[in-house]
């Protein structure tokens, strides 16, 4: 199986490295990290044991050519590049598996390549990219994957088997849409409050950041869980997400809130991906992670007042980053 990895940040690099270590033919499409990975390979630091691999490196998709499997780990802010980056990799029998955050990514890929080629995967993992060619794996790692708007295919189980053989736990779901909302139960509150919390509790509750207000520090998962009012807000956001899922016809149990909170306590001072983007001065994944779920909930007649207020704060912070050119 020839595998192309597009979007070699923490997620793409980690799962691509695991597949390469298992002996698969893995190509990394790289930009700024190209020289570092070409010369020294990719180092994964993990409590399960550090390892280094030497994947095949390319600067352009044309150098890679058509693949059997394309794994997409791009930030969703780069989805406008799908056609340019992926078209040379996709042939008649290629499977495109997006591991991106949030909602709407599969739909964008299907519009380009057809529903029959598109799969989605949800990554439940704690990862950080430390420097070019170095990724830290902190905890977890399971992938939950399924077909986009289609029944499970033989290739679904084949690809899941390839992933499992690399040492990554992988489950197959027959309801990818529900799996997305199950992950949003964690992603929306911890990613959102990790950044929006810098504007202060009152701002996040009201959706208004006073003019001239100074930002505090961003909030790691342990800080959000250490103070009762932030933990309560986390829980309220989770319950809004669960209510939205139910409004859209997907049964996500309310117990998912408690399970996600207790699981997160084991992560320590973890920085969610949106927090890292903000600290690096990069665009936030507003559309896929926050605004699209809010739109779908409203379309189903489900109010999400806590999410709506937090979105206003995140939009303000993201606009401030745009005005200064995301200086980093």
| Residues with active-site annotation | 183
Please give the DSSP secondary-structure letter assigned to residue 78: G
Q: How far apart are CA 40 and CA 57, in angstroms?
A: 11
Q: How far apart are CA 133 and CA 54, in angstroms?
A: 10
Q: How far apart are CA 310 and CA 50, in angstroms?
A: 38
Q: Which residues contact 241 (CB under 8 A, 6 or more apart)?
A: 181, 184, 185, 188, 189, 252, 293, 304, 307
Q: How far apart are CA 118 and CA 106, in angstroms?
A: 6
Backbone angles phi, psi at 44, to 5 degrees: -110, 120
Please give the DSSP secondary-structure letter assigned to residue 73: -
SS3 content of the chain, % helix, strand, coil (to 5): 50, 20, 30
Asked if residues 173 and 157 have their Cβ atoms less than 8 Å apart, the reply is no
Q: How far apart are CA 310 and CA 307, in angstroms?
A: 5
Structure tokens at 153: 């295919």
- Between the alpha carbon of residue 39 and those of residues 42, 43, 132, 158, 237, the distances in Å are 9, 12, 11, 32, 45
Give, rounded to a whole angstrom, the gap between the first and last alpha carbons of the chain.
Answer: 38
């Amino acid at each position: 199986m020839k595998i192309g990895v597009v979007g070699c940040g923490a997620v793409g690099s980690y799962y691509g490295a695991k597949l390469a270590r298992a002996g698969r033919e893995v190509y990394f499409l790289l930009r700024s990290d190209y020289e570092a990975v070409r010369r020294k390979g990719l180092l994964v630091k993990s409590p399960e044991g550090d390892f280094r691999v030497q994947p095949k490196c390319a600067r352009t998709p044309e150098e890679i050519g058509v693949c059997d499997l394309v794994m997409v780990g791009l930030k969703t802010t780069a989805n406008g590049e799908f056609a340019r980056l992926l078209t040379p990799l996709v042939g008649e029998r290629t499977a495109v598996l997006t591991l991106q955050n949030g909602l709407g990514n599969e739909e964008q890929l299907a519009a380009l390549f057809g529903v029959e080629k598109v799969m989605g995967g949800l990554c439940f993992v704690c990862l950080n990219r430390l420097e070019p060619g170095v990724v830290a794996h902190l905890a977890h790692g399971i992938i939950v994957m399924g077909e986009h708007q289609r029944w499970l295919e033989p290739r679904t189980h084949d690809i899941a088997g390839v992933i499992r053989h690399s040492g990554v736990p992988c489950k197959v779901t027959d309801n990818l849409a529900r799996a997305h909302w199950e992950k949003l139960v964690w992603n929306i509150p911890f990613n959102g409050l990790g950044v929006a919390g810098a504007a202060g509790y009152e701002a996040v509750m009201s959706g208004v950041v006073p003019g001239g207000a100074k930002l505090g520090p961003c909030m790691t998962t342990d800080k959000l869980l250490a103070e009762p009012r932030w933990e309560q807000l986390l829980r309220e956001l989770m319950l809004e997400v669960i209510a939205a899922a139910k409004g859209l016809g997907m049964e996500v149990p309310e117990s998912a809130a408690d399970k996600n909170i207790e699981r997160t306590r084991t992560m320590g001072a973890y920085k969610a991906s949106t927090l890292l983007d903000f600290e690096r001065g990069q665009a936030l994944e507003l559309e896929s992670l926050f605004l699209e779920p809010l739109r779908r909930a409203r379309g189903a007649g489900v109010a999400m007042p806590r999410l709506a207020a937090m979105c206003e704060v995140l939009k303000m912070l993201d606009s401030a980053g745009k005005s200064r050119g995301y200086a980093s």
